[in-house]
Structure 1
């Protein structure tokens, strides 16, 4: 996508907008730096319009959708920023020492924010569902798939009922075979990834329990969720796959793992010993 000045684009097409789309445009122009971190649902709520109105607003500007709008917005903000930001507050002028400090603070902040967002009842409900489930399937796309695979790697050491498909077609087929006895754990920072939303929809239709790990309490994904666990990292559209976002997701998964282990101690300990012994021959 060619870089565009989103602010000039909004103003140039303002007269083409419907009254509802003008409400979206006005809010964006008045809250420029906040919008970049909002989900489509959050922006729609802030403007008192529907998600479809936000999507039509993007289409009126000849953009493919909300994510392309956010990317264009990020480009426009960087054009207005003389410090040439790379990500967050990191700039081209930073020394290695400054980079080290800023990255450390960003990651600590992400973990702290996630800790503050933890709802013990939701964690407990998620664990209850996972313990009684016949199968636990982890889903994700792109960088979130890497997190889902790590979750599979973690949990398979203590239970034999976890799965993670790495292809989007295999994921949707797996979702189609789920039942009310299964749990689907869906990982998506934005909660707006089409493939992940489709998996959630299909799994929900099959009666599976849906647990979402995401940044936003309101998003297309969470509309299908039975339990939503929030991560606290702020990731702009040009920072996809940022380590701070992944760390916050892994933190939540580590918490789920530890609590699952505690509640199924005897079985989990036996399985952990068995899986550890199975790979001993692979070590020097």
Structure 2
């Protein structure tokens, strides 16, 4: 698989608020001077950021990149494509401006989420879902919308799955999961306590676990064997957790679904045709039921 050559700046933006002091100083320097940073060595970056070469190495580990060279390659890839600054909405803005802002926001969210996808983790997720007897999906709030989307898509291709909006029902169901099952937890922040608990219960039951969260270590991601990430740092405060993060989650779910579909192409087409025909019958008129008198006359 090819090495990732983008998303360096997006990863730094995602992680900056969760980094310890010295690592955060380095991240802030790189975000402020990205062009200059890609020409520095580990030692030089440590000096100009007022930290140390050891702190640069620790930063790379925190960012989950292989090395400082890997991070520089990703940043260089970002610099080849202009990243527009995105602003939050303001009072009484023109509707035309609002439409443009939201569109740019959505495009950037999808692109940066795509750049963050780890193909090894995505492949593992496809494999365990294909082998699963039952998939339990759980998300809270806006992430619950994404969880419902997983259920709707997977059920159409004959993957037995359940979404429980109630945490008590979810805990009860997941407690009875087996090693053949998968528990899929979705949390934009990665720190939703209820989602973490459902994954923990699933793990204790022996089920395989998948998380879909913002990039990096988090309460939810740390409890899952397989991690899928989204870009959420560019979510404006006014719409926090409601727009870009949801789009990014649905984007990853679409990727996961399509990878499963192409792996089992003929089966998937068959299942989709069957479910499509079943839905079409819902619009057909039901046969008129005969009355008791009509029944007697026909006999």
The two structures have a TM-score, normalised by structure 1, of 0.68
CA 1:255–1:139 in 2, change beyond 3 Å: closer, same or farther?
Answer: same
Could you report, residue by residue, the CA deviation over 1:192-216 in whole angstroms, capped at 9, with x for unpaired residues? 1111111011111111111111113
Q: Contact 1:109/1:233 (CA < 8 Å) preserved in 2?
A: no
1:97 positional shift: 0.9
| Bigger RCO (CA 8 Å, 6+ sep) | 1
From 5, 16, 20, the counterpart of 1:46? 20
Q: Contact 1:111/1:233 (CA < 8 Å) preserved in 2?
A: no
Which residue in the other structure is 1:213 paired with? 212
Number of aligned residues: 210
Q: Contact 2:14/2:214 (CA < 8 Å) preserved in 1?
A: no
Q: Contact 1:213/1:249 (CA < 8 Å) preserved in 2?
A: yes
Q: Contact 1:138/1:164 (CA < 8 Å) preserved in 2?
A: yes
Which residue in the other structure is 2:193 paired with? 194
Q: Aligned equivalents of 2:137 and 2:18: distance in 1?
A: 29
Q: Aligned equivalents of 1:131 and 1:115: distance in 2?
A: 22
Q: Aligned equivalents of 1:220 and 1:110: distance in 2?
A: 23
Which one has a bigger Cα radius of gyration? 2
Secondary structure, aligned partner of 2:158: coil
Matches for 1:1-284 after TM superposition, within 5 Å: 43=17, 45-47=19-21, 88-234=87-233, 235=235, 239-283=239-283
Q: Contact 2:136/2:161 (CA < 8 Å) preserved in 1?
A: yes
1:238 positional shift: 5.1
Secondary structure, aligned partner of 1:156: helix
Moved over 6 A (4+): none
CA 1:88–1:169 in 2, change beyond 3 Å: closer, same or farther?
Answer: farther
Q: Contact 2:189/2:213 (CA < 8 Å) preserved in 1?
A: yes
Q: Contact 2:89/2:238 (CA < 8 Å) preserved in 1?
A: no
The gaps in structure 2 that reach 5 residues or longer are: 1-12, 23-85, 285-299
1:43 positional shift: 4.8
